[in-house]
């Protein structure tokens, strides 16, 4: 069961920058909805596994991404805000910002402009890309895109047509069942560890 994080500050403590009413609605209604719905979706997925009835799987996986990513991003958002007393990036983080963005002003400008340019509903994120050992700024439209933010892929199957069409044509099921014969679990184990 996913649990709501406790806010580490009172509802009115971000004022005047973020009003009590706004935070109350955002935390107690919207964020709570994401957490509750993630739990309900995980319950339904368990039921599907237990009964073998996966007729709703597409909808359930979408809901897992939508509500789960909503819960994760709101948790990060609420925790990366705090009462308005000045704090600053650590020496290490600042060095990385300077390395990857030029200086703090340039980072702040890119983050501001990227946030303004988010299409419709979405997020702006400063992220660490482990594969590149680099900071980047990303826009995220809506927030799910069928993933969970921060998850680590362990086992992946390419469902683009280029990966199977030459051999299996439209027969995706045969391609998928063949895949189970050629999984290298040693590599998956390594990623999991
Ligand atoms: Mn929100």
Residues 23-56 pLDDT 10s:
999 999 999 999 999 999 999 999 999 999 999 9
169 CA to centre of ligand 1 in angstroms:
42
Cα-to-centroid distance, 143 and ligand 1 (Å): 10
Cα separation, 70 vs 143, in Å, equals 7
pLDDT of residue 4: 98
CA of 163 to the centre of ligand 1 (A): 37
- Ligand 1 centroid from CA 31, angstroms: 7
Closest CA to 80 of 37, 123, 40, 30: 123
- Give the percent of the chain with pLDDT over 70: 98
d(CA 115, CA 172): 39
Q: With bands split at pLDDT 50, 70 and 90, how would you rate the model's confidence at 146?
A: low
12 Cα to the center of ligand 1, angstroms: 17
Backbone angles phi and psi of 141, in degrees to 5: -85, 140
**pTM (2 decimals)?**
0.86
Q: Which domains does the chain have, with CATH numbers?
A: 20-79 (1.10.287.990), 91-192 (3.55.40.20)
Handedness of CA 176, 188, 66, 131 (dihedral sign): negative
Q: Decide if pLDDT at 1 tops 80.
A: yes
Please report, in angstroms and rounded to a whole number, the separation of the first and last CA atoms in the chain: 23
Cα(186) to centroid of ligand 1, in Å? 40
Mean pLDDT of the chain: 92
Average pLDDT over residues 166-177: 92
Alpha carbon 34 to its chain's center:
13
pLDDT at 160: 82
- Alpha helical stretches, state H, 27-135: 32-51, 57-79, 91-101, 104-116
Q: Give me ligand 1 centre to Cα 55, in Å.
A: 31
How many angstroms separate the alpha carbon of residue 60 from the centre of ligand 1?
21
Q: 178 falls in which pLDDT band (50, 70, 90)? A: very high
């Amino acid at each position: 069961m996913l649990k709501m994080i406790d806010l580490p500050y009172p509802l009115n403590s971000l004022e005047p920058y973020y009003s009590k009413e706004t935070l109350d609605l955002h935390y107690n209604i919207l964020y709570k909805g994401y957490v509750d719905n993630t739990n309900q979706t995980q319950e339904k997925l368990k039921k599907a596994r237990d009964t073998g009835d996966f007729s709703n799987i597409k909808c359930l996986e979408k809901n897992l991404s939508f509500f789960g990513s909503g819960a994760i991003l709101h948790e990060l958002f609420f925790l990366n805000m705090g009462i308005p007393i000045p704090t600053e990036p650590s020496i290490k983080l600042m060095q990385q910002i300077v390395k990857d963005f030029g200086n703090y002003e340039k980072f702040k400008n890119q983050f501001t402009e990227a946030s303004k340019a988010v299409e419709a509903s979405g997020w702006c994120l400063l992220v660490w890309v482990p594969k590149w050992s680099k900071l980047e700024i990303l826009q995220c439209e809506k927030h799910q895109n069928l993933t969970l933010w921060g998850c680590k892929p362990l086992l992946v199957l390419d469902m683009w047509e280029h990966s199977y069409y030459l051999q299996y044509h439209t027969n995706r099921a045969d391609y998928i069942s063949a895949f189970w014969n050629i999984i290298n679990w040693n590599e998956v184990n390594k990623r999991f560890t």
